[in-house]
Amino acid sequence: MSDILLSLRHLTIALPEGADRDFAVEDVSYDVARGEIMCVVGESGSGKSMAANALMGLLPKGVRATAGEVVFDGQDLLSLTEKQHRELRGLRIGMIFQEPMTALNPLMRVGAQIGEVFEAHNRLTPSGRQARALELLTEVGIPQPEKAIRAYPFELSGGQRQRVMIAMALALKPELLIADEPTTALDVTTQAQILDLIGDLQRRHGMAVMFITHDFGVVAEIATRVCVMREGRIVELGEAREVLENPQHEYTRALIEAIPSNAMPAARQVDQTAPLLEVRHLQKVFRSRGGLFKPSREVHALNDVSFTMARGETVGIVGESGSGKSTLGRCVVRLERPDSGELLLDGIDLTSLKSETLRRERRRVQMIFQDPYASLNPRTRVGMAIAQGPIANGVDRQQALKEAGDLLDLVGLGAAAAERFPHEFSGGQRQRIGIARALALNPELIVADEAVSALDVSIQAQILELLEDLKQKLSLSLLFITHDLRVAAQICDHIIVMQHGRIVEHGSAEAVFLSPQAAYTRELLEAIPGRAHVLATA
């Protein structure tokens, strides 16, 4: 690559005092050439977004570049005044962000927000701006652009808002587009569309793209070159194809392994004669309560859902947001009450249980939650958090605390952890505590609701390994709810695919992956970033 547009040279960015490390990025150098897509890959805290923020002049307060330079088209951006920097932003460098739900001003119409880009750089007349905004919305493929231009952000879906963001970033045909995790908050099918759009626009406009992501699947999908970062430093830098096929660094290899593979876990023999859980014709409708003068609204979260699950089996429930998968999980643990249908656990119908009986029977089904930061009471010691369940069910306090220590040992934290508070643990460790808590009551069934979704890829792998290990040791029955097909593939015996509150496919993991029957399942599989790469190299 010869025509270098952007060049980072020995860039070091200092964090404010009291942060967990001194530098957000340290001695980082890489180039971005005109017309290429450079992927910067790393997990949370790797500092992957910091360089982009520095070159935009958008570093958070207290964070600043202390050494090195960022040369954009022959000019060191770090030496610019705020005014010079401002003139560059939006005009020569565009940027899109992770959260399309919050990245647009909720009180301004979409057209006005796009028009602002021209206004900021004194281009066009007000009516000309709106005409261009309409063209841009058409170009990024928004349905009914004439309507969308007058819409407020809340009237658009997440994917549509991200398209608006892209339209805004491209308004003045910048030479460089920075995309900071632009697809992470989106559903997998929407993610695929946005990736296509960015790739397509990049080719048509011939601009350079700096694409920041945590997902090697995305790299396989669009990158020309890739830069892998960890804890503020570059661990690997090279042509995308080369890095994917022949990663030099162990860390890169671990990240690449998280891309889906077609290797299925060997199907295990499970006792199918006496099902542990039988779900029959489950229905759940959410109604937003109307007032005296406003109509109520209905969402069909579960629509005639039926399946059975055997003892010792792991069943994955896979679907996008709004598919009803979480509602299903919450009905099984009875945090939610289904409108009709039956939930038979060992032949006993859980839906019919009422308050006091329900409270006593609850111990039979436990849950592992999604957010390791919200699932532990910040004011309760870890040992107590685990022992609370047995105590509420009549176990002696001392005995319960002792057993909590044993469980902490089992999940690999050591009994000494019992005396500490949740904030002293990392996300992955907290998830282990959550697992210990779920095990404390010896439940017959455990529901794991997106239990690894909030974790970094490398931590994800460890938690999945722990679950796999516990499954073997304790012959757990696990209902594993996830939006991520790759995760489901790693741990599940059977997979149920849900869409709009219905089961669209149900089969062994192998069957669902290798010969999907439903069109929607095929769509989901094809949308997984990096899948083409895997199929090519498999």
Partner 1 sequence: MLYARLIVSRLFKAVIVLFMIIIFNFFLIQMAPGDPAAILAGEAGATDAEFLRQLTERFGLDQPLHVQLWRYVSGVAMLDFGFSYRQQVPVLDLILARLPATLLLTGTAFVLSLVLGIVAGSLAAARVKKPSGSLIMALALVFYATPLFWVALMAVVLFSVYLDWLPAYGMYTVGAGLEGFAFALDVGKHLILPATTLALFFMAIYTRMTRASMLEAAQQDFVKTARAKGLKNSVIQRRHILRNALLPIITLAGLQAGQMVGGAILTETVFAWPGIGRLMFEALQQRDYNLLLGIFFFSAALVIVFNIITDLVYRLADPRIKEAS
Partner 2 sequence: MNFFARFAQNRGALVGLIILLAIILMAILAPLLFPESPWRMVQRPFLPPLETEGFPLGTDTMGRNVAAGLMHGAWVSLLIGLVSTTVALAIGVPLGAIAGYYGGLVDDALMRFTEFFQTIPNFALAIVLVAIMQPSITSIVLAIAIVSWPPVARLVRAEFMSLRHREYVEAARLVGQTNATIILRQILPNTLSPIIVLASLMVATAILLESALSFLGLGDPNVMSWGYMIGAARTVIRQAWWLSFFPGVAILLTVLALNLVGEGLDDALNPKLARERS
Looking at beta carbons only, is 150 or 379 nearer to partner 2? 379
Q: CB 99 → partner 2: shortest distance, Å? A: 15
Helices (H), 419-484: 427-439, 457-474
Pairing of strands 348-349, 340-345: antiparallel
Say which entry of partner 1, partner 2, none residue 38 contacts (CB below 5 to 8 A, set by partner kind): none
Q: Which of 142, 194, 240, 376 binds partner 2 (CB under 8 A)?
A: 376
Distance between CA atoms of 338 and 441, rounded to whole angstroms? Answer: 24
Tokens of 315: 């069943």
Say which entry of partner 1, partner 2, none residue 388 contacts (CB below 5 to 8 A, set by partner kind): partner 2
155 contacts: CB under 8 Å, gap ≥ 6: none
Tokens of 388: 């609370």
Applying CB under 8 A, does 286 fall inside the site for partner 2? no
Q: In what order do the strands lie in the sheet with 23-33?
A: 23-33, 4-14, 64-72, 75-76
- x-or-dash string of contact with partner 1, 23-62, rule CB under 8 A: ---------------------------------x-x----
Applying CB under 8 A, does 359 fall inside the site for partner 2? yes
Looking at beta carbons only, is 183 or 375 nearer to partner 2? 375
Applying CB under 8 A, does 343 fall inside the site for partner 2? no
**Which residue type is seen at 384?**
M
Say which entry of partner 1, partner 2, none residue 292 contacts (CB below 5 to 8 A, set by partner kind): partner 1
Applying CB under 8 A, does 375 fall inside the site for partner 2? yes
Looking at beta carbons only, is 385 or 410 nearer to partner 2? 385
Looking at beta carbons only, is 128 or 414 nearer to partner 1? 128
Distance between CA atoms of 263 and 250, rounded to whole angstroms? Answer: 21
DSSP state of 89: B
Q: Which of residues 451-490 bind partner 2 (CB under 8 A)?
A: none
Applying CB under 8 A, does 105 fall inside the site for partner 1? yes
Please state the φ and ψ torsions of residue 447, each to the nearest 5 degrees: -100, 125
180: β partners? 212
Applying CB under 8 A, does 343 fall inside the site for partner 1? no
**Which residue type is seen at 391?**
I
Q: How many residues bind partner 1 (CB under 8 A)?
A: 34
**Which residue type is seen at 246?**
N
Count CA atoms within 13 Å of residue 102 on its CB side.
3
Say which entry of partner 2, partner 1, none residue 513 contacts (CB below 5 to 8 A, set by partner kind): none
Say which entry of partner 2, partner 1, none residue 335 contacts (CB below 5 to 8 A, set by partner kind): partner 2
Count CA atoms within 13 Å of residue 184 on its CB side.
21
**Which residue type is seen at 133?**
A
Q: Which of 23, 30, 72, 97 binds partner 1 (CB under 8 A)?
A: 97
Q: CB 355 → partner 2: shortest distance, Å? A: 9
Applying CB under 8 A, does 85 fall inside the site for partner 2? no
- Which among 99-107, 190-198, 373-381, 494-502 is the span making contact with partner 2, rule CB under 8 A? 373-381
Task: Report angle CA 434, 439, 441 to the nearest 5 degrees.
Answer: 120
Q: What is the dihedral of CA 343, 346, 350, 356, to 10 degrees?
A: -170
Looking at beta carbons only, is 86 or 402 nearer to partner 1? 86
Distance between CA atoms of 141 and 154, rounded to whole angstroms? Answer: 18
- The residue count of the chain comes to 538
**Which residue type is seen at 534?**
V
Looking at beta carbons only, is 21 or 287 nearer to partner 1? 287
280 contacts: CB under 8 Å, gap ≥ 6: 306, 341, 342, 343, 344
Q: CB 360 → partner 2: shortest distance, Å? A: 7
Q: How many residues bind partner 2 (CB under 8 A)?
A: 31
Q: How far from the centroid of its chain's Cα atoms is residue 442's Cα? A: 30
Per-position DSSP letters for 14-30, written without gaps between them? EPPTTSSSSEEEEEEEE
Say which entry of partner 2, partner 1, none residue 527 contacts (CB below 5 to 8 A, set by partner kind): none
Applying CB under 8 A, does 369 fall inside the site for partner 2? yes
Looking at beta carbons only, is 102 or 357 nearer to partner 1? 102
Q: CB 85 → partner 1: shortest distance, Å? A: 9
191 contacts: CB under 8 Å, gap ≥ 6: 183, 527, 529
Applying CB under 8 A, does 90 fall inside the site for partner 1? yes
Q: Which of residues 253-292 bind partner 1 (CB under 8 A)?
A: 291-292
Whether 308 and 506 have beta carbons less than 8 Å apart is answered as: no
Q: Which helix (H) or strand (E) holds 451?
A: none
Say which entry of partner 2, partner 1, none residue 293 contacts (CB below 5 to 8 A, set by partner kind): partner 1
Distance between CA atoms of 52 and 32, rounded to whole angstroms? Answer: 12
Applying CB under 8 A, does 126 fall inside the site for partner 1? no
Q: Which of 75, 128, 154, 337 binds partner 1 (CB under 8 A)?
A: 154
Looking at beta carbons only, is 377 or 475 nearer to partner 2? 377
Which residue is associated with the tokens 């629509």? 303
Which residue is associated with the tokens 């990240």? 255
Looking at beta carbons only, is 217 or 383 nearer to partner 2? 383
Residues that bind partner 1 (CB under 8 A): 56, 58, 86-91, 94-95, 97, 99, 102-108, 116-117, 119-121, 152, 154-155, 165, 168-169, 291-294
Residues that bind partner 2 (CB under 8 A): 18, 333, 335, 359-360, 362-363, 365-367, 369-371, 373-380, 385, 388-389, 392-393, 423, 434, 437, 440-441
